[in-house]
Amino acid sequence: MTLPVLKASDFASDQDVRWCPGCGDYSILAQMKKVLPDLGVPREKTVFISGIGCSSRFPYYMNTYGMHSIHGRAPAFATGLKSTRPDLMVWVITGDGDALSIGGNHFIHLLRRNLDINVVLFNNRIYGLTKGQYSPTSVEGQVTKSTPMGSIDHPLQPLSVALAAEATFVARSLDAHVKHLGETLKRAAEHKGTSLVEVYQNCNVFNDGAMAYAQEKKQRAENVIELEHGKPLTFANGTKGIRLVGTHLEVVETSDVPADDLLIHDETDPNPSIQMMLARMSYPTMPEPIGVLRAVSGVPTYDEQINQQVQTATEKKGRGDLNQLFNAGDTWSVQ
Amino acid sequence: MILVNQQITHVSLAGSRPTSKSGHNKLHMEATTSKAVRSVSGITVRLAGDSGDGMQLLGTQLTNTSALAGNDVATFPDFPAEIRAPRGTRAGVSGFQVQFASEEIFTPGDVLDALVVMNPAAMVTNLGDLRKGGILIANEDGFNEKEFKLAKVESNPLEANVIEETYRLIKVPMTQLTREAVSEFGLGVKIADRCKNFFAMGLVYWLFGRSLDPTLRFIRDKFGKKPEVAAANEAALRAGWAYGETTEAFGESYQVEAAELTPGTYRNIMGNQALAWGLITASQLSDKDLFYGTYPITPASDILHELTKYKNFGVRTFQAEDEIAAVCSTIGAAFGGGMAVTASSGPGIALKAEAMGLGMILELPMIIINVQRGGPSTGLPTKTEQSDLLQAMFGRNGESPIPVLAPQSPGDCFDVAIEAWRIATQCMVPVMILSDGYIANGSEPWKIPSFDELPRIEIRHPEGTDLDEPFLPYARDEHLARPWAIPGTPGLMHRVGGLEKEDGTGNVSYDPANHQHMTNTRADKVAKISDRIPDQEVYGDHSGDLLLVSWGGTYGACHTAVKRSRENGHAVSHLHLRYINPMPANLGELLGSFKRVAVAELNQGQLRMLLRSKFLVDCQGINKVQGKPFTVSELIESIEELL
């Protein structure tokens, strides 16, 4: 039997997409549909689970199995599903409010357990569906409907959180950089273990241009570093680079330093310390990294192990027999 | 204690372990008492000491031994929420009550025939339940100035004149005697003193004519790796027995003959254990693997501890990061086609409320167990109560009815677990089981079923298709249930979610008429279950002066109270509800056939509120929220007041 070759359009459901015109979500949806046929997983074996928020409408637009769940809890639904159905490819679609505010707890625990699940976190630094309150990734001083005098919260950095939980795959991409986004999603899907992809996503209604420094092509070269495993960290068309000095990273002009002074990116290092330094680089003082910060292989997944324990117990004790269980221990008979 | 000569039912012991194991021959060298033996129909005894004194162990051993002797047994463990409350204080007292009888019993007993106390705190907090003339056995080594201070008593309570006058006080220097008994094994004082609960056990066994064999087996099993500790515990047990035999304080011992139970093979079972076994059984009856997502909470955690032992039965347990994740993981597993269960107690159920509403609107089958405890908030974690009934019925936003079942005894937890899964899968709906701390930790003899004779639970998943016809995930069958199409099935890809769905297609719908229709459908689906559950039964006549209504773990006390009232000539009947939502179809008619209806429950009147609103019956309430079960005598008193 030959498997039918699927196209991006085969992954589109019959529902009208209802995001605002110009929303960055469209680009992520398009890249996802484009990537999925390359993965070779049939549609019926693919499940999208989301929480609540604009991004979380995503499953309705995919012709796969899907669940639009409750606010912040998508990782927990996905955990129950993947633990019992390791044969499925499970995606979690979430946003900055969903994953980092109401669902912060589930987010870190999914990452530390390392279930073989892919998480796409749409980060637009604002609450869109509730019409414009600040989010846990909004920058300090940001004026929103709920912070008329500016936000006094210190923003949370999703990549740092993921690295602190020792996630095995941590990456970032941009909705505007579609090629990079597609490649990053594909790598996330191919990684065995929990993959986190943070996507800078523009909310053109409530937080337009919040990440223009990275999204706009003209500014991107100066403000973004595309990470490549085994390559020195350079940006600004190769004119600038990153050097490790003691426990800090600093920007240098590549012409001023010997080439081997530049930091070589190692996504496979199990020690997340330098990856954490990369995650903490932020505009405007530093360029922000996109691409794969961390991809550590060989860490057992939770879904693999929970099923392994069932198998081991069955091999050791034999498949459970209820009559035997009921009659084990002290019993007596009445005639 | 009543002197009755019972017909002895033939009982044969069928210990699980082969007796041919080397070193076990000594087991059968048991001494028999040379003193007088008095036959009684039943004994209620409570063992009370500090939480570190091993009273729970003593209690479970006495229970198992009595069950093996063919008695009917009922137990009530009562312990503090603190793992090690300050030693010697009243807060740290841990107790275990057991009634064993030669007749069928339904409660662990109201008043105590015998009370064993290891320290002053245990004595002052429990003495009130000992009947006049009852036996009070005290470890007199535990009664000293230091202990009086800890227990906040001014002088030695054993020396109060009223004690000697009211009870049969037997003071035993247990610590001293235990030390002597174990001296040959060279254990440190601390470890030697830990053997004193076995000394107390030996004494209690002598007093009630119990065999030492099951406990000797237990000791060898449990302490097999530490032979000196096993030997010391055995020596302490035998020393306690010998003390009873030789001391002049006891002129006679008591004997409780075997009870006349329905023929069959029995074992002792606790409520949480029965729930766990019922869940595994339901999974096998439906050819499903069991997924249990939960978060530790008293008094539900023992279900997790029990289930996780049975991975070779296809059981997967998931200890989630919190209560919400626990129920959400359960819904995820249900979506994947597994048998999915979560459990908690009141505070945890409150956290699960939003997700339960999602499970309900997703129309996926699952079981949610609430082992109730005293509330509100953290309340009384280790004490029993039935105050989460309205939470179970209505504790979700929006119109979100779900079926609610309540087991009536430890053994009944097994049957209710299976019934819950049958209903959940037949109707594609989450089902709530309302257990409580009293039956969760209580135990009773359980007639062992044969797995092969239990009715199967048939589940249908729609087959895959490569037709272009759109799949209708919200099409309805005769029970108004939607199809359980699971991921991995070709052609049936669909999306579920918490937004209102269009009937049939399952597309998101804000249509006003559709929302009304779906709300009605989900309610009708649950209401229709009453067509398929058994008619409500009544103990006693189907009409009369008073109908006592109860639900859940209060069954035993209410049944016994009505039985006694009827023996006293009153026209009282008992109606015990296991199906809370929906209620049995004939319930309204039954309620209307009595002059008065009273509802006894361990809350402020929650079932009464439901019955009044549903049937417009003027129910009276018998209510108590003291963290304790009903006593039979207080129920009889209430019944007589109402007549």
Residue A319 and residue B313: Cβ atoms within 8 Å? yes
Tokens coding A59? 């499953």
The answer to whether the Cβ–Cβ distance between B448 and A310 falls below 8 Å is no
**pLDDT per residue over B257-269, tens digit each?**
999 889 999 999 9
Distance, CA of B643 to CA of B637 (rounded, Å): 10
Task: Inform me whether the pLDDT recorded for B3 exceeds 90.
Answer: no
pLDDT of residue B82: 80
Across the interface, do B312 and A309 touch by the CB < 8 Å criterion? no
The answer to whether domain B544-642 has CATH 3.90.1580.10 is no
CA-nearest residue of chain B to A85?
Answer: B336
Q: Does B493 touch chain A (CB under 8 A)?
A: yes
Rounded CA separation B96/B118 (Å): 13
Distance, in Å, from the CA atom of B352 to the CA atom of B363, rounded to the nearest integer, reads 16
Question: Which residue does chain A place closest to B497, by CA atoms?
Answer: A68
CB B484 within 8 A of CB B459: yes
Question: Cβ contacts of residue A102 below 8 Å, gap of 6+?
Answer: A51, A71, A72
What's the CA gap between A185 and B308, in Å, rounded? Answer: 36
**How does DSSP assign B245-276, residue by residue?**
HH-TT-SEEEEEPPP-PPSEEEEEEEHHHHHH
Beta strands A89-95 and A117-123, pairing class: parallel
Report, as an integer, the average pLDDT of B311-331.
98
Q: What angle do CA A160, A161, A162 make, to 5 degrees?
A: 90
Mean pLDDT, residues B520-534 taken together: 97
Average pLDDT over residues A6-35: 96
Confidence check on the interface: ipTM exceeds 0.90, yes or no: yes
Of B13, B325, B464, which has the smallest distance from its Cβ to A106's Cβ?
A: B325
Average pLDDT over residues B293-317: 98
Contact assessment for residue B100 and residue B42, using Cβ atoms and an 8 Å cutoff: yes
The residue extents of the domains of chain B are 33-256, 267-453, 460-532, 544-642
Residue of A14, A77, A333 lying closest to B265 (CB–CB) = A333
The answer to whether the CB atoms of A331 and B284 lie below 8 A apart is no
pLDDT greater at residue A161 or residue B7: A161
Q: Let me know: does B544 contact B573? Beta carbons within 8 Å.
A: yes
B135 close contact with A: CB closer than 8 A: no
**Would the CB atoms of A332 and B358 count as touching at under 8 Å?**
no
| B534 Cβ under 8 Å from any chain A Cβ | no
pLDDT tens for each residue of B386-409: 999 999 999 999 999 999 999 999
CATH of B267-453, one of 3.40.50.150, 3.40.190.10, 3.40.50.1360, 3.40.50.970: 3.40.50.970
Type of residue found at A115? L
For range B90-100, the mean pLDDT: 94
Note whether B451 contacts A326, CB cutoff 8 Å.
Answer: yes
CA dist B92 and B406 (Å) reads 31
List, as ranges, residues 379-418 from B with C-beta within 8 Å of A: none
Side-by-side strand order, sheet with B112-117: B72-78, B93-101, B42-50, B112-117, B130-139, B168-172
Judge whether residue B4 has pLDDT over 80: no
Which CATH superfamily, name and number, covers A8-227+265-308?
Thiamin diphosphate (ThDP)-binding fold, Pyr/PP domains (3.40.50.970)
Q: What is the pLDDT of residue B468?
A: 65
User: For the ranges A3-12, B187-196, B447-456, which has the lowest average pLDDT?
Assistant: A3-12
Q: How many CB pairs under 8 A join A and B?
A: 231
CA dihedral B514, B515, B521, B526 (to 10 degrees): 170
Residues of chain B neighbouring A6 (CB-CB closer than 8 A): none
- Is the pLDDT score of B574 beyond 70? yes
B21 has pLDDT over 50: no
pLDDT recorded at residue B25: 37
Compute the average pLDDT of residues B615-627.
97
Residues in A closer than 8 angstroms to B335, CB to CB, are 65, 67, 77, 81
Q: What percent of chain A has pLDDT over 90?
A: 96
Distance of CA A85 to the CA centre of its chain: 21
pTM for the model:
0.92
Residue B492 at interface with chain A, using a CB cutoff of 8 Å: yes
Domain regions of chain A by residue span: 8-227+265-308, 231-263
For the stretch A155-173, pLDDT in tens is: 999 999 999 999 999 999 9
Residue of A nearest to B495 (CA): A66
Domain B544-642 in the same topology as domain B267-453: yes
**B336 closest CB neighbour out of A15, A69, A85:** A85
B489/A contact by beta carbon, under 8 A: yes
Can you tell me the distance from the alpha carbon of A283 to that of A220, in angstroms, rounded to the nearest whole number?
A: 11
* CB neighbourhood size of B585 (10 A): 14
Q: Enumerate residues 6+ apart whose C-beta is below 8 A from B188.
A: none
Q: Give me the percent of chain B exceeding a pLDDT of 70.
A: 95
> Cβ separation of B448 and A331 shorter than 8 Å?
yes
Indicate the pLDDT class of residue B466, thresholds 50, 70 and 90. low
What pLDDT digit, counting tens, does each position of B96-142 carry?
999 999 999 999 999 999 999 999 999 999 999 999 999 999 999 99
**B637 contact partners, CB below 8 Å, separation of at least 6:** none
**B28 pLDDT band (50/70/90 cuts)?**
very low
Contact: A69, B313; criterion CB under 8 Å: no
Tokens of B591: 């309620």
Give the pLDDT score at B197: 94
Please report the pLDDT score of residue A329 as a whole number: 87
Average pLDDT over residues B568-589: 98
Confidence label for B83 from pLDDT (cuts 50, 70 and 90) = confident
Buried b (16+ CB within 10 A) or exposed e, A108-127: bbbbbbbbbbbbbbbbbbbb
Give the minimum alpha-carbon distance from A79 to chain B in angstroms, rounded to a whole number. 6
Most A CBs within 10 Å: which of B329, B351, B452, as the mutation test of the A interface?
B329
What pLDDT does residue B15 have?
37
Fold topology of B33-256: Pyruvate-ferredoxin Oxidoreductase; domain 3 (3.40.920)
Residue ranges of alpha helices (H) inside B323-482 are 323-335, 346-362, 389-394, 412-427, 437-441
- Give B-chain residues touching A313 at CB under 8 angstroms: 311-312
Nearest Cβ partner of A68 from B262, B334, B495? B495
**pLDDT-derived band of residue B81, with 50, 70 and 90 as boundaries?**
confident
